[in-house]
Structure 1
Amino acid sequence: MDHRLQNWGIFLLLSLTWGSSFILMKLGLEAFTPYEVASIRLISGGLSLLPFFFRFIRQTPVRKVPVIILSGLLGNGIPAYLFCIAETKIDSSLAGMLNSFTPVFALLFGLLIFRAPVTGRQLGGLAVGFVGVIFLFLAKGINTNAYWYYGFFVVLATACYGLNIVLVHHYLKGFASLQLVSISLFFMGLFALPVLLSGNFFSLFAGAGDKPWISLSASMVLGIMGTGVASILFYQLIRSAGAIFASMVTYGLPVVAIGWGLLAGEYVTMLQVLCLALIMGGVYMVNRK
């Protein structure tokens, strides 16, 4: 298969998979708490890659394992809970829009922590992106303080994503994608298991109809496809097409998220779309060669 065609195929699959994650969270939250949905996601993702964990853990230097676990916390563990908590109060489409801010945080942390070289255009992109996020919060109108509070969870999750990108780039660059994902998700699943068992998760299935099973299915698909398989595809896209092309997935996610939100009956205003365009403009300024 032509490499360009293969790269675009991975790009579209990632956009659809990650863009659908936000509506899958909403489906999971219909029967479960945000902590249960996030825990199921992490456990399912870890189990789906368990055979690879046993293969790669023996090949990994012991001193690198804590760094990989930290990468797992920043790239999957903490954001999984933050997004689910946020979506108890905000629309999945809005969460998808805010998620597009990740590359801007990656540049910011690279600048602040590792003193990465930065151009004036990229600094301008940071400013434009931040303005877009602020206006996106304001676009729906501020009726209660809770709206700001839950929207902040999404911004914090994108900050974790951005910090993880910088961490992987500087400390885990020589490792295979499947190696990093399988090891990190194994430990995320271990950490999530006590959280899932601490509630009344299993009692929810006793004579409650189909809703818990639908939510369980959505949460498991979210973990296997949106966390496990998609993470591997993303690293493969970076190796095959480069970081610049891979970062373009950021542009596809909110489009898919908005589409699912509209199908689910969520209200998306033109002002929100314009704010998203402003964020995307900032991301473009940050990533453009």
Structure 2
Amino acid sequence: MNQRLMNWGIFLLLSLTWGSSFILMKLGLTSFSPYQVASIRLISAGLALLPFFLKFIRQTPTSKIPVIILSGLLGNGIPAYLFCIAETRIDSSLAGMLNSFTPVFALIFSLALFSAPVLKRQVMGLMIGFAGVILLFLVKGVGANAYWYYGFLVILATACYGLNIALVHHYLKEFQSLQLVSISLFFMGLFALPVLLLSNFGTTFRETEQPWMSLAASCTLGLIGTGIASLLFYQLIRSAGAIFASMVTYGLPVVAIGWGLLAGESVNIWQVVCLGVIMSGVYLVNRK
């Protein structure tokens, strides 16, 4: 019972943390480019966990390092850039809603790569989820936002998340959460450093009025939205399983919509209805 309560506590913390990530990206993008925000996010997360990397890298089998790096790329590296690029054109609330599609991709990759058993209701859930995403694009595209198709970058990011969930569940479940996160984020920060240095990062502080607010938002995004959240997420996969962990996407869009409304973004009833359709599909996919 204590473990179950702990799992639900982690679930709620992740919903709040990741749900707040989308508005932090928007704040970072007020002064920095999407590549700079994503790079700062990954570097700050890697630096925060550097002491743990130095401890765990010696305890990790060499043969597993490439798999952990791949997990870092899928779970943090690639999505960090995709989300930031997408949010240059779409609202943070829309990004949060589209992120709810992650569990569907987790099932798809489990079926395709690991021959997991499939039920008819799960196939129905996949179809309903895809229909909800298409409707959400149509609803958003009809409005004033001419760049709604940038949402496909978020869909690609959720595919990376889904593949990472399946990967961790089948190949890395025996490792400690802190071990996986510290090693993967060290390499993500290492890969992101040249991207930041080549982006004329220093000139931003001379050309913009409020770079420090954007820098603080980007660092907070890295420390909390990537470092701590990834640690909690890997722990949730180990203790509660991949499907339960992927269900964080139930709570995440609600938080993202709340922050979007506070920031003055437009969220209409039809978008909420589409989110409900997606969630219905996700429920059918994950229901015991």
- Alpha-carbon distance, 1:242 to partner: 4.4
CA gap of 1:156–1:224, structure 2 versus 1, over 3 A, is same
CA gap of 1:168–1:155, structure 2 versus 1, over 3 A, is same
- How is 1:228-247 mapped onto 2 (pairs within 5 angstroms)? 228-247=227-246
Aligned to 2:22: 22
Q: Counterpart of 1:280 in structure 2: which amino acid?
A: M
- Alpha-carbon distance, 1:8 to partner: 3.2
1:13-50 CA distance string (max 9 Å, x none): 21111000000000000000000000000001101110
Q: Secondary structure at the match of 2:147?
A: helix
Q: Distance in 1 between matches of 2:2 and 2:286?
A: 25
Aligned to 1:253: 252
- Alpha-carbon distance, 1:177 to partner: 1.1
Aligned to 2:264: 265
- Alpha-carbon distance, 1:149 to partner: 3.6
Q: Secondary structure at the match of 2:251?
A: helix
- Alpha-carbon distance, 1:208 to partner: 3.8
Q: Distance in 2 between matches of 1:281 and 1:250?
A: 12
RMSD value, Cα = 1.8
Q: TM-score, normalised by structure 2?
A: 0.95
Q: Distance in 1 between matches of 2:10 and 2:72?
A: 22
1:132-158 CA distance string (max 9 Å, x none): 000010112347996354111000000
Aligned to 2:226: 227
Q: Secondary structure at the match of 1:37?
A: helix
Q: Distance in 1 between matches of 2:6 and 2:197?
A: 41
Aligned to 2:115: 115
Q: Counterpart of 1:48 in structure 2: which amino acid?
A: A
Aligned to 1:187: 187
Does the CA contact (< 8 Å) of 2:165 and 2:242 recur in 1? no
Does the CA contact (< 8 Å) of 2:90 and 2:148 recur in 1? no
Q: Distance in 1 between matches of 2:161 and 2:112?
A: 15
Does 2:5 match 1:10?
no
Q: Distance in 1 between matches of 2:145 and 2:213?
A: 32
- How is 1:163-178 mapped onto 2 (pairs within 5 angstroms)? 163-178=163-178
Aligned to 1:138: 138
Aligned to 1:100: 100
Q: Distance in 2 between matches of 1:80 and 1:208?
A: 23
Bigger drift between 160-169 and 95-104 goes to 160-169
Does the CA contact (< 8 Å) of 2:75 and 2:164 recur in 1? yes
Aligned to 2:62: 62
Does the CA contact (< 8 Å) of 2:166 and 2:242 recur in 1? no
1:69-103 CA distance string (max 9 Å, x none): 11111110000000000000000000000000000
1:204-258 CA distance string (max 9 Å, x none): 113743x100000000000000000011112223344444443332111000000
Query: What fraction of aligned residue pairs are identical, expressed as a percent?
Result: 78
Q: Secondary structure at the match of 2:58?
A: helix
Q: Counterpart of 1:165 in structure 2: which amino acid?
A: I
Q: Distance in 2 between matches of 1:33 and 1:207?
A: 13
Q: Distance in 2 between matches of 1:114 and 1:11?
A: 25
Q: Counterpart of 1:262 in structure 2: which amino acid?
A: L
CA gap of 1:277–1:143, structure 2 versus 1, over 3 A, is closer
Aligned to 2:84: 84
Does the CA contact (< 8 Å) of 2:141 and 2:148 recur in 1? no
Q: Distance in 2 between matches of 1:30 and 1:207?
A: 12
Structure 1 portions without partners, runs of 5+: none
